[in-house]
Amino acid sequence: MTMPDAGTRGPAPANPGVIATADEPVNPLRDPRDRRIPRVAGPCVMVMFGVTGDLARKKLMPALYDLANRGLLPPGFSLVGFARRDWEDEDFAQITYEAVKEHARTPFRETVWQQLAEGMRFVPGEFDDDAAFDKLAETVQELDRDRGTGGNYAFYLSIPPRFFPMVVEQLKRSGLSDPSAVGAEWAGTARPPWRRVVIEKPFGHDLKSARKLNDIVDAVFPPESVFRIDHYLGKETVQNILALRFANEMYEPIWNRGYVDHVQITMSEDIGIGGRAGYYDGIGAARDVIQNHLLQLLALTAMEEPVSFAADSLRQEKEKVLSAVRLPVDLAAGTARGQYAAGWQGGRQVLGYLEEDGIPPDSRTETYAAVRLMLDTRRWAGVPFYLRTGKRLTRRMTEIALMFQRAPHLPFAATDTKELGQNALVIRVQPDEGVTVRFGSKVPGGAMEVRDVNMDFAYGQSFTESSPEAYERLILDVLIGDPPLFPRQEEVELSWRILDPIEQFWAENTKPEQYVSGSPGPASADAMMARDGRAWRRL
C-alpha cells in the first residue's frame, strides 16, 4: 500500500452528520446530492405579534414575500397578524402590500402576492383580552382546515419584552402553545405538529432579567422550540466566517496567538438614537450591541472547529469560548465609554445625546462602549480582543479585523519599510460585505520601498444579487426548524456574565465621556488602546 503524499490527498469526506438529519420519515424526492432543490418550509402558519412595528413592516413582511417569491414557502402558508388595531383582514393585507412593495428585495409579482395574500388574516385585540386570543386560536384552526397548514404554528413576538409574560400566558391559556391540544385529527400522522416561538433582542438587560425572561418563555415552550433572533447571524458574511475558517487550509494555521497580535471587532453607526429614546436610555451601547452582536462575532471568530455544523456542535464551541472570556483586571483601564455631543455628522448639524427628545439631561447612558477582553485558551492566550461600538460616529461600518504581528525580522533598511503597517485580515460585515487582506508590497520604482496594499474579496462583485436578506434566512430556518444560527439561553447568560461586571463598574464609578458627533469616539477609548501600544483601525 502506498501512502498518498500530503499534496495529493483528496478532499476530506463530507461530514455524514450534516447530511443525515433526525429520524424523520424520508422523502424519496429529497436527495442530498440534488442541490438544485432548495429547502422549503413545511405547511405552517406564522402568527405575528406587533405587526404594526417598524421591524415587521421594513424587514419581516418583505422577507416573507421574498421567500414566497423564491418559492421557499409551502403551498398554503398563512400569516396571521395580531395587534391593537381596528382592522379587517383586508386592511392588514393592504398594509402588508405597501410594506412589501416598498421594501422587498425581489421584483414584485402579482401572482406571488396573491398566493401570500390569500393566507393573510388579522385578529384585533389587546394582549390581556382573552376573547381576542380565543379568536386567534379559532383563526389558526380555520386555516388548518381551509389551507392545510397542518397545525404547525410559529409565533413571532415582535413586541417589547415587557409584554412577553402576558402573551406567552395567553398562548398557553388559549391552548395555542400546545401541539397536542389542537386538532386531534393530526394524532395519527407520522409527525406531530410543532410550535415555535421567535423572540428578538433584547434578551434581558442583565443576567437576572435574562433568566427571568427565559423562565417565562421556558414555562410554556421547550428550549428547542425557542428561536432567539440575532439578525447579525443571518448575514452572509457572518456565516462566511465559518466557511473562511473551516473550509480553507491557509487561514487556520495562522489563526492563533503565534501570528495574531490582536483582534478588533467594531460596529459603528452614523445615526443617533432616533426615536428609540424610551428603549435606549438606561440600556446603552454595551447592552444594545456588545452583549449580543459583538460577543457573537467574537465567539465565531475565536471558537475552535465544531465537529459538525449541527446546531448543538456549533453552540457548544461558542459556549466554550464565551466561558473562557476574561475581563480586564483594571476595568477603568480596560474599558471606555462615551456619549455623543452635538456636532456635525455626515454634513449635517446634529444634537447631542443629552439634548435628544425624551433623554433626561443628566442621563449616564453610554452611546459608545469599548472593552478589552482576553480569552483563556491555548489558542488565544495573550491576544487581546478589542470590542467597540457607538452611535453618531464617523461612518456606519461593522467589521472583524485580525491584526497580525509584525515580521520578526525585516531584511530591509528601516527607511524602506516606514510605511509598512501590520498585516491584517478584515472581515467586513457591513456595508460592502467581503474580506480584505492587507499586506506590504513593493512600490514600483528604482528604490525598495514597501507599503501596505489591500487585496479584496467583495460579495458585491462575486455573488451579491441573489444573497438573501438576513431575516429571510432566519425566518426560513425557523419554519424549517433548523437552529444553528440562533443563540440559545446558555449563550445569552454567558454574555451577560461578561457584561454585568462591566456595567456595574460603570454605574458605580464613571460618567460617559462626551465625544463630538461625527468623530471616531471618545479620547478615553484611544487612550485605552495607546496604553497597550496599539491604535484603533480608522473608521
Partner 1 sequence: MTIDLTDTTTGAISNALTEARRRLGGMTMGMVLTLIIVTDEEGQYDAIRAANEAAREHPCRILAMITRRPKADSRLDAEIRVGEASPGETIVLRMYGPLGQHADSVAAPLLVPDVPVVTWWPDRAPEVPAAHPLGVLAQRRVTDSAAADMPQAVLADLARAYRPGDTDFGWTRATAWRSLLAATLDQPHPKLEAGEVQAEQENPTADLIASWLNLKLDIPMRRTVSGGPGITRVSFDTSDGDITISRLDGRTATLSWPGRPDRMVALHRRETAELLAEELRRLDPDEVYAETLRRLDTRGIETAPVVDPEADERVIS
Closer residue to partner 1, CB minimum distance, 293 or 473: 473
Q: Count CB atoms within 10 A of the CB of residue 278.
A: 12
Give dist(CA 200, CA 363) in Å, integer. Answer: 26
Asked whether the CA dihedral 66, 69, 71, 75 is positive or negative, the reply is positive
- Nearer to partner 1 by Cβ, of 201 and 438: the residue is 438
49 bridge partner residues:
82, 157
d(CA 399, CA 318): 19
Binding site for partner 1 (CB under 8 A): 25, 27-31, 33-38, 40, 42-43, 68-69, 71, 74-76, 109, 111-112, 114-115, 118, 145-148, 150, 189-191, 456-458, 461-466
Helical pair 164-173 and 207-218, crossing angle rounded to 10 deg: 10
Q: What distance in Å separates the CA atoms of residue 43 and residue 152, rounded to the nearest whole number?
A: 7
Determine the Cα–Cα distance for residues 83 and 127; give it in Å rounded to an integer. 8
* Shortest separation between residue 446's beta carbon and partner 1, angstroms: 22
- Neighbouring C-beta atoms of residue 172, cutoff 10 Å: 16
For cell 402588508, the residue is: 96
Rank residues 109 and 511 by Cβ distance to partner 1 and give the closer one: 109
Query: Taking the complex as a whole, how short is the minimal distance between the CB of residue 480 and partner 1, in angstroms?
Result: 10
Q: Residue 96 in 3-state DSSP? A: helix
CB 195 → partner 1: shortest distance, Å?
18
For residues 223 and 489, is the Cβ–Cβ distance under 8 A? yes
CB count, 10 Å around CB of 195?
A: 20
Active site residue 409: no
What does the block give as the cell for 35? 442541490
- Residue with smaller CB distance to partner 1, 106 or 158: 106
Backbone angles phi, psi at 186, to 5 degrees: -90, -5
**Cβ at position 77, least distance to partner 1 in Å:** 9
For partner 1, give the closer residue by CB, 27 or 509.
27
Tell the smallest beta-carbon distance from residue 435 to partner 1 (Å). 11
Of 205, 231, 293, 409, which residue is the catalytic one?
Answer: 293
CB closer to partner 1, 72 vs 213:
72
Q: How far is the CB of 433 from partner 1 (least distance, A)?
A: 13
Q: Which amino acids are annotated catalytic?
A: 293
